Amino acid sequence: MGQFNTTDILAMEQRYRAAFINSLGGFKSGVLVGTVSKEGNTNLAIFNSLFHLGANPALCGLIIRPDSVARHTYENILETGSYTINHINEGIYKQAHQTSARYDREVSEFDATGLTLQYEQGVMAPFVKKSHVQFALEFAEKHELQINGTILVIGKIVKVILPDECIGADGFIDIERAGTITVSGLDSYHTTQRLSRLSYAKPGIAITEVS
């Protein structure tokens, strides 16, 4: 087994450390974030930092590094309050990855990558047409994280679009069936294979597989 302590991590070459530390968090949600500036320039960017924050109110968090290629997304969210989250599937993952290139602000990553825009009533920001699970967020709150200058952006889910046949009787969404893929590290994309769903856990009671 390899063991690494704080000194070892600090001694790593910068890109090596970025790849190493980014891998440690486990499998992540890779999503495309669609936005538009107040001048009407659309933007599309891949993020690996989306996370569930609460169901009532329905909230998601996103970590943004304001000095990175993600700064256009951040500026657009603050300008319009609107952004969309689009799950990535096998058919679009290479185009999704390409959105991480450092395009100028006036270039739309939709055009540059060939991903088609989709507009929905009541949502200013554009969706990605080929994404199978899509939702829109309304900006709610931000926190600057002093420790490294990143921003936690919190949004409220205001619209959800997804295939009816992926919604279970109990509200569970079968994102595997919808073709959603997962990301590890900075650049590795993976399909999934369900082991099982497990029953609600209680002390002293054996859990069972839920069909």
In the complex, minimum distance from the CB of residue 116 to a second copy, in angstroms, rounded to a whole number? 16
User: Is 195 a residue that touches a second copy (CB under 8 A)?
Assistant: yes
Contact 29, 48 (CB under 8 A): yes
CA–centroid distance for 68 within its chain: 16
Whose CA is closest to 75, among 123, 149, 139?
A: 139
Alpha carbons within 13 angstroms on the beta-carbon side of residue 51 total 10
Q: Mark the segment that binds a second copy (CB under 8 A) among 36-44, 59-67, 71-79.
A: 59-67
In the complex, minimum distance from the CB of residue 82 to a second copy, in angstroms, rounded to a whole number? 13
Q: Which is nearer to a second copy, 38 or 78 (CB)?
A: 78
User: Is 23 a residue that touches a second copy (CB under 8 A)?
Assistant: yes
**Tokens, residue 99:** 């959105």
In the complex, minimum distance from the CB of residue 41 to a second copy, in angstroms, rounded to a whole number? 16
What are the distances in angstroms from CA 23 to CA 1, 28, 46, 93? 17, 9, 17, 18
Window 98-137: contact mask with a second copy (x via CB under 8 A) = xxxxxx---x----x---------x----------x-x--
In the complex, minimum distance from the CB of residue 209 to a second copy, in angstroms, rounded to a whole number? 9
Contact 192, 183 (CB under 8 A): no
DSSP, collapsed to helix, strand or coil, labels residue 211 as: coil
The count of chain residues that interact with a second copy, using the rule CB under 8 A, is 112
Window 162-191: contact mask with a second copy (x via CB under 8 A) = xxx--xx-xxxx-xx---xxx-xxxxxxxx
Q: Which is nearer to a second copy, 76 or 99 (CB)?
A: 99
In sequence order, what are the residues at sequence separation of 6 or more whose Cβ sits closer than 8 angstroms to the Cβ of residue 141? Answer: 153, 154
User: Is 39 a residue that touches a second copy (CB under 8 A)?
Assistant: no
